[in-house]
Homo-oligomer: A and B are copies of this chain.
Amino acid sequence: MNDKATTTRTPVLLPEPTLRRLPWYFAYVSTLRTPEVEYISSTRIAEALDVDPSQIAKDLSFLGIRGKTRIGYQIEELRQALNDYLGFGQRHNAIMMGTGSLGAALIADSGLQRYGLNIVAGIDINPTLIGSRIGGVEIYAPDRLESLVQELSIKIGIIAVPVESAQDIADLAARSGIKAIWNFTPSRIRVPEGVVISNTSIYSHLAVMYNRLATISDSKR
């Protein structure tokens, strides 16, 4: 930490590990907003989150945020800077592609909205779903995708279709002008250059957890 003035906040391509840690800092300082605590040291954040203090200082310096010597970071400033920088305070229009159990579940998760994700429509091939609403979000046929993307300024497509349809729907999304794809299927999908892909295979986490559980039980035998 030092007393240097903050630098620029223009979005730069941050290293992915840094980008994954920043939301932890945001979540943590969001829990601290009490009038009694005004500053927090990187050492205390480090203890709470089990991250090296120098790593925290380095991560935050990417945002032009520097703590004051011996005092630390002003909590509300830090929270606001992280919120702005991470884009959680903006609205990012998205479409849910596949509104079966997982898709409908994600539409219902109000947490996503608090983090800036604005699901404005859904598509599905199931004729009984087309024309219906899930949590206020209307479901359309897949052939409406391109016009929806244009009319509703949709940048993000969330894929929650069955695994065997994942690549097809990703191709359709890219052709329809979607700029970023958030893939929830366990399938790896390929996208054209210039389209952002983010994979959240919740089932991969299950595999890791089951393996760790099995090896723990083994070592206790």
Are A87 and B210 in contact, CB atoms less than 8 angstroms apart?
Answer: yes
Complex Cα–Cα for A216 and B116 (A): 18
Is A151 part of the binding interface, using a Cβ–Cβ cutoff of 8 Å? no
Complex Cα–Cα for A31 and B104 (A): 23
Is A49 part of the binding interface, using a Cβ–Cβ cutoff of 8 Å? yes
Contacts of A207 in B (CB 8 A): 19-20, 22-23, 86-88
Are A115 and B203 in contact, CB atoms less than 8 angstroms apart?
Answer: yes
Contacts of A206 in B (CB 8 A): 23, 86-88, 112, 115-117, 182
> Given the interface contacts A12-B215, A19-B207, A179-B216, does A188 sit within 8 Å of B31 by beta carbon?
no
Contacts of A164 in B (CB 8 A): 30-31
Q: How far is the CB of A85 from chain B (nearest CB, A)?
A: 8
Contacts of A20 in B (CB 8 A): 201, 204, 207-208
Are B212 and A24 in contact, CB atoms less than 8 angstroms apart?
Answer: no
Which one of B101, B108, B196 contacts A111 once the chains associate, using CB atoms below 8 Å?
B101
Q: How far is the CB of A43 from chain B (nearest CB, A)?
A: 15
Is A200 part of the binding interface, using a Cβ–Cβ cutoff of 8 Å? yes
Complex Cα–Cα for A157 and B77 (A): 35
18 of the cross-chain contacts (CB-CB < 8 Å) are A11-B211, A11-B214, A13-B212, A13-B215, A22-B207, A23-B207, A24-B186, A24-B188, A24-B201, A50-B188, A86-B211, A88-B206, A92-B210, A101-B108, A105-B109, A179-B216, A180-B213, A196-B213
